Structure 1
Amino acid sequence: TKFHEEYLRGSAEELLEILQSRDSQKGEFSVYVSGKKKDKLLE
């Protein structure tokens, strides 16, 4: 476990808002993106 380890979950817009509201970011970042479900894809 890292000292500044933290898990955030949300949409890209939600995460951007959270991170921009902070004075600084510490540590590393890993981003996991999932695709849309088949029933939500545009044809």
Structure 2
Amino acid sequence: MANESYGIALGMIETRGLVPAIEAADAMTKAAEVRLIGRD
């Protein structure tokens, strides 16, 4: 879970294609604790 002192944030990304979406998700998970809740 998120650290209490930082709180919780919600972010969304929009990409064209699967590869950019995977690259963005990879960068986010390496930078912070990220939980994927859905995709379209």
What is the TM-score with the length of structure 2 in the denominator?
0.47
Larger-gyration structure (1/2): 1
What is the TM-score with the length of structure 1 in the denominator?
0.46
